[in-house]
Amino acid sequence: MEKNEKLVIKIEDIGVNGEGIGKVDGYTLFVKDALIGDTVEAVITKAKKNYGYAKMLKVLEPSPHRVEKRCPVARQCGGCQIQELSYEAQLDFKTKKVYGNLERIGGFSPEFLDSVMEPICGMENPFNYRNKAQFPIGTDKEGNIVTGFYAGRTHQIIPNMECALGVEVNQEILKIIVDFMNENHISAYDETTQRGLVRHVLIRYGFKTGEIMVCLVINGDKFPKSEKLVDKLSQIEGMTSITYSVNRENTNVIMGKEIGILWGQGYITDYIGNVKYQISPLSFFQVNPVQTEKLYGLALEYAGLEGNETVWDLYCGIGTISLFLAQKAKKVYGVEIIPQAIDDARNNAKINGIENAEFFVGKAEEVLPEYYAQYEKEHGEKAYADVIVVDPPRKGCDETLLHTMVKMQPERIVYVSCDSATLARDLKYLCENGYEVKRVRPVDQFPSTVHTEVACLLQKN
Ligand code: SAH
């Protein structure tokens, strides 16, 4: 295989960035923009020894799972890598991916997986599910204010106010802001010169409460004529919080550290299940609240609590799972590396009147082993947990942590994962050390993207 060679390729899989993957005579090719099930004509753009990259020239035979994309710029934007795949086929792909990783990396047999895997939990309406959106603000060639998204890996803005994953009110808000800026000659930030005022607009929406937050990220300390903007924005039904965030740094980080209130309060409120959360512009909050409720509901079900248990929730973020569990357990300990997230977790416990949750700031792989060692020293016996829940980032759990978890001998371990490859690796370790996988269920938190979450229950042998 050589560069510039033209080929016909049948696409059999989807890569980590949504690209199509096919094989020709055993040689693997990654084909951007090709969809699983397509037969395409492509030209090789880069040829390595065992694999290469190709550019699609045309679709010879379209995948039977191709659907009309909802958003004309789906591919360009990079957010929706597989929007052109029917939702059923997306769910099928995600299930197979989890299954494949558990088999290949975890070493579980197909018979075993068939017996523990439950059908993927998808969405009824796989669009408009995001409760948070961040839009960059810029200027087009004619000097007009535009907003949309960055094209590919550049910082050039492609104008687009409609996003199929966001809520509808986003468009109304963006239009008000763009018109206000044009009419009042408020400048947009220019990254090359580092001049201009408005950098980004953050919008958050509470799915259960209908409360809306708008935060303008600005390269300055003040927001001129903001009362005119506030006048319009505050008339939108549900508007609760209008703020600005000062970010004067030359950086890709969107939000600044300080928040100033222009109108209303500094946060919105929303619920996951019956637990209430206060969400400020800087808070972390799960972006798909509908699926989060299902995923964490599943974690709760797997935890099998009866009211007397001691539970650890590792990588607890703002305590979403911890507070869910606390309602059914005797005591919940949460551990999280980001101090602000723990501030939010403690505050959320307080506003819900939850008193049996305690939170620690630190690395899970340090906090738990230290707690274990300290406990043994003080009490002369081993620290015990009935249930341990983990919800780590993509890299999965540190082995030091898994080692301590096993020493604590919890009856059940509930593993919530956003990367089934590292999940498979960690399950293998746990199964070699006295645990058995009982239930596995993928949950589709991010329709139209290649990402998938998985909940898994392990039981002590
Ligand atoms: N269940 C949480 C989200 C978990 S996402 C919620 O709903 O809020 C994974 C979390 O792990 C993130 O909040 C991240 O900051 C945290 N994290 C990353 N590395 C960590 C580590 N080594 N120890 C503890 N927490 C960590």
75-98 pLDDT, tens per residue?
788 788 899 999 999 999 999 999
Are 142 and 212 in a shared domain? yes
Report the residue among 282, 294, 333, 337 best suited for mutation to probe ligand 1: largest number of ligand atoms under 8 A from its CB: 337
Mean pLDDT over residues 61-83, rounded?
Answer: 89
72: pLDDT strictly greater than 90: no
Give the number of domains in the chain: 3
Nearest CA to ligand 1 atom 3: 317
21: pLDDT strictly greater than 80: yes
Atom of ligand 1 nearest to the CA of 338: 15
333-366 pLDDT, tens per residue?
999 999 999 999 999 999 999 999 999 999 999 9
pLDDT of residue 151: 78
Indicate whether 1 belongs to any domain. no
Domain boundary at 228, 246, 272, which? 272
Taking a C-beta distance cutoff of 8 angstroms, is the pair 146, 158 a contact?
A: no
Indicate whether 157 belongs to any domain. yes
Are 76 and 54 in a shared domain? no
Could you tell me which residues are beta bridge partners of residue 458?
413, 437
pLDDT of residue 93: 96
Task: List, chain by chain if needed, residues with CB within 6 Å of any ligand 1 atom.
Answer: 284, 286, 315-318, 320-321, 335-338, 341, 363-365, 391-393
DSSP secondary structure letter of residue 189: P
209: Cα separation from own chain's centroid: 21
pTM for the full predicted model: 0.94
Catalytic residues: 418
Angle, helices 226-233/169-184, rounded to nearest 10 degrees? 150
Compute the C-alpha angle 244/245/250, nearest 5°. Answer: 135
The phi-psi region of residue 188 (left if phi > 0; otherwise alpha if psi is between -120 and 50; otherwise beta) is: beta
pLDDT of residue 261: 96
Taking a C-beta distance cutoff of 8 angstroms, is the pair 73, 37 a contact?
A: no
Distance CA(209)–CA(121), nearest Å, equals: 24
* Banded model confidence at residue 68, pLDDT cuts 50, 70, 90: very high
Atom of ligand 1 nearest to the CA of 284: 8
Domain boundary at 272, 303, 320, which? 272
CA of 418 to the centre of ligand 1 (A): 11
177-224 pLDDT, tens per residue?
999 999 999 999 998 899 999 999 999 999 999 999 999 999 999 999
pLDDT of residue 150: 84
154: pLDDT strictly greater than 80: no
Nearest CA to ligand 1 atom 21: 363
pLDDT of residue 45: 96
Per DSSP (E only), the strands in 283-434 are 310-314, 331-336, 357-361, 387-390, 412-417
CA of 162 to the centre of ligand 1 (A): 31
Mean pLDDT of the residues in the chain:
95
Are 307 and 449 in a shared domain? yes
385-431 pLDDT, tens per residue?
999 999 999 999 999 999 999 999 999 999 999 999 999 999 999 99
CA of 210 to the centre of ligand 1 (A): 27
* CATH number of 253's domain: 2.40.50.1070
Domain boundary at 272, 296, 311, which? 272
Mean pLDDT over residues 134-139, rounded?
Answer: 95
pLDDT of residue 73: 85
Distance CA(316)–CA(427), nearest Å, equals: 19
Are 190 and 304 in a shared domain? no
Are 115 and 147 in a shared domain? no
Are 456 and 314 in a shared domain? yes
pLDDT of residue 76: 80
* Residue 357, domain extent: 67-128+288-461
pLDDT of residue 16: 87
Are 156 and 200 in a shared domain? yes
Q: Counting Cβ atoms within 10 Å, is residue 308 exposed (0-12), middle (13-18) or buried (19+)?
A: exposed
Indicate whether 319 belongs to any domain. yes
Distance CA(212)–CA(203), nearest Å, equals: 7
Nearest CA to ligand 1 atom 13: 317
pLDDT of residue 155: 78
